[in-house]
Amino acid sequence: MSRIVVATSKPEATRHWLSVMQAALPEFEIVGWEPGEPATGARYAIVWAPPKDFFDQEKNLEALFNLGAGVDALIALPNLPDIPLFRLQDAGMAAQMTEYVVHHLASLSRGFSTYAQQQRQSHWEQLSPPNYANWPVGVMGLGKLGSHVAQELAKLGYPVAGWARSHRQVDGVEIFHGAAQFEKFLSRSRVLINLLPLTDDTRGIINHELLASLMPDSVIINIARGGHVVDDDLLKALNSGRIQLAVLDVFNQEPLPAEHPYWSHPKVRVTPHVAAVTLDDQAAVQISRGIRSLAQGQMPGGLVRRDIGY
């Protein structure tokens, strides 16, 4: 029987995923990886930020399944073996990300943050009806997550554009692609949502130049990776009034250090990398389907292309 090993950065998370995956794949023997124990000899690994020694020790692995959508940290490991790597493709994350974005966007476009202030003053005043045309949204990154978010916002009535490396089609969304169309995409966007993968090409993309190209009074929503943002440039743009609000779920350093200016900045909303969390049942379905396909000699979806980094 093929053995599967689960390896994460925390023993309690490893135990948790071990029991979730064992229930989903009863025909396989699944073990948890522990530093200092002999190699498990497993054929497949299910991982999330595995300990440094993991890949030095487990030499029989034939494929890796990442317990998340982003593989930037995994790909950066110098000892990552050259075997197929699969990532979660949606697994409930697209709906959560949409909810996160709608929550923050509607608090501005529908005036909910103003109503919260009014309540503190026992003040009853109805604001003008929403004018979605005032909130052109730009979604950077049109993979499974970005396309879903863009499409759902378009259905709500926001003018939505999307930007990706290469051309694609997303219903209801105006598409821009490649470096040549980036500036045009930015200059029509007031709410910029980042859902790009973190690669050598996209690291630091939210910088002074980008922030200066957006419509005045813009909003940044970053739910991809902290490494996309040049923090000093964003803070300067917030302080100068160029950007009215930054909603940040991910950071260059996580947990965000207690002394970081984002925590107390009046124009920044901080959440602790929770815009979308991996859901047990959906991740288990996707990974178990993938492992069964591989075991039968078929190639599952979600294969990461190492050459482009996602």
Q: Which residues bind ligand OXD (CB under 6 A)?
A: 68-70, 278
- CA nearest to 171, candidates 157, 155, 151: 151
Closest to ligand OXD by CB, 40 or 147: 147
Q: Of 43, 148, 225, 228, which one is the catalytic site residue? A: 225
Closest to ligand OXD by CB, 150 or 224: 224
For residue 265, indicate whether it is catalytic.
no
d(C-alpha 121, C-alpha 172), whole Å: 40
Cβ neighbours of residue 104 closer than 8 Å, sequence gap 6 or more: 219, 221, 247, 269
Question: Smallest gap, in angstroms, from Cβ of residue 185 to ligand OXD?
Answer: 24
d(C-alpha 94, C-alpha 276), whole Å: 8
Q: Of 208, 273, 289, 292, which one is the catalytic site residue? A: 273
Question: Smallest gap, in angstroms, from Cβ of residue 62 to ligand OXD?
Answer: 23
Q: With beta carbons less than 8 A apart as the criterion, state whether 166 and 178 touch.
A: yes
Closest to ligand OXD by CB, 145 or 154: 145
For residue 225, indicate whether it is catalytic.
yes
Closest to ligand OXD by CB, 98 or 278: 278
Closest to ligand OXD by CB, 74 or 245: 74
Question: Smallest gap, in angstroms, from Cβ of residue 48 to ligand OXD?
Answer: 8
Select the residue whose beta carbon is closest to ligand OXD and give its number. 68
Question: Smallest gap, in angstroms, from Cβ of residue 187 to ligand OXD?
Answer: 29
Question: Smallest gap, in angstroms, from Cβ of residue 249 to ligand OXD?
Answer: 9
Catalytic residues: 225, 273
